[in-house]
Amino acid sequence: MHRDDALPKTTFPYFFREAARRMWVSKRTSFVAVAMIAISLFIVGAFLLVAENLGRAVAQAGGKSRVNIYLTTDATQQQIASVDGWLAAHHDFAARRFISKEIALTRFRTYFANLSDVVGQLDENPFPASFECEIAPAVAQSPAFAQQAKELRAIAGIDEVQFDWEWVEKLKKLINLVNLAGIIAGGVLAIAAAFTIANVIRLTMLLYREEIDIMRLVGATERMIRGPFLIEGILQGFIGAAVAIALLFAAFLAGRNFLAPRYSLLWSFLFNGFLPWRKLLALLAGGTLAGFLGSWLSVRESGEERV
């Protein structure tokens, strides 16, 4: 390393000043680069947000395992008493609660308020009565419990036995799928955004070609010449990511305020909470990295003075 190869401290403010000035001078091209990053990260962020909230729903259900025992619509009081007796006799099912047809209908009207009218038009209550049993998660996975569940299904008056952890497992698979889709879509878009930034920086470098030649002739190092371009890419990436987060937050607030109450249960799951700060930082870092890679590609390709 040459004795003077290290950049003087005073050059870093110069890098930022120059990068900001060049972005301002080339507003339109900079806007395209920032918009590309913002769109890419908004999509990635949307996937992350959905996965995050589904994850929260799973976490809420994760501590308990529930079995729903739906009775046939024509189940007699004797059959209901028989089922209740069987549950009381089996320790694992003892923590039970009877949900009458009326309670089931009330719950539906609460969760799906917009469909309440539809139900009202029916001649009779279509919801079956059921028992809800809280099962210890460790017990729910045991072979003995599976045997008991088989016995339960055979009891007269029982239409269906549903296990909560089955849909929790399905939800977990869905979360993995959403995360994967987000990573793939985000990755592809981030690469496209990085190339957009690379092209923007390349255009800027062409615009400043004469100036770059002068800088070289008066003794500016390649680092000094390339620094502002690298910072320009980094700034574009960072601003794009910040815009994406702001847009995502605005969309989240709008969704929570306008969609969640109207469509109740499903939407309230998806708008339960915003992304945690770690994921927000990751989005910012991702945008900044895409910007850096794009500008690095450009300045690397631009080469050095040919002598």
Residues that bind other proteins (CB under 8 A): 2, 4-5, 8, 10-11, 13-14, 211, 213-222, 224, 304-305, 307
Residue (169 or 213) nearer to other proteins, CB: 213
C-alpha dist (Å) from residue 252 to 42, 57, 157:
11, 17, 45
Parallel/antiparallel/unpaired status of strands 158-163 and 130-135: unpaired
Q: Indicate the residue among 166 and 301 with the shorter CB distance to other proteins.
A: 301
Q: How many distinct helices (H) and strands (E) make up the chain?
A: 12, 4
The three-class DSSP label of residue 72 is coil
The CA angle 36-252-48, to the nearest 5 degrees, is 65
Residue 24's identity, in one-letter code, is W
As measured in angstroms, the least distance from the Cβ of 22 to other proteins is 10
* Gap between the Cα atoms of 16 and 230, Å rounded: 10
Q: How far is the CB of 11 from other proteins (least distance, A)?
A: 6
Residues in the chain: 307
Give the nearer residue to other proteins in terms of CB position, either 20 or 155.
20
DSSP 193: H
3-class DSSP state of 10: coil
Q: CB nearer to other proteins: give 4 or 117.
A: 4
Residue 242's H or E segment, with its range, is helix 222-254
- Burial class for 22, CB neighbours closer than 10 Å (0-12, 13-18, 19+): buried
Q: How far is the CB of 30 from other proteins (least distance, A)?
A: 17
Question: At its nearest, how many Å lie between other proteins and the CB of residue 239?
Answer: 23
SS3 letters across 77-94: HHHHHHHHHHHHHCHHHC
In the bound state with other proteins, the residue whose beta carbon lies nearer, of 27 and 278, is: 27
Minimum CB distance to other proteins smaller for 183 or for 224: 224
Nearer to other proteins, 120 or 219 (CB): 219
With both helix axes pointing from N to C terminus, report the angle between 277-302 and 222-254 in degrees, rounded to the nearest 10: 150
Radius of gyration for the alpha carbons in the chain, expressed in angstroms and rounded = 30
* Residue 201 or 284 with smaller CB distance to other proteins: 201
CA distance 58 to 189: 29
| CA separation for the pair 234, 44 (Å, rounded) | 19
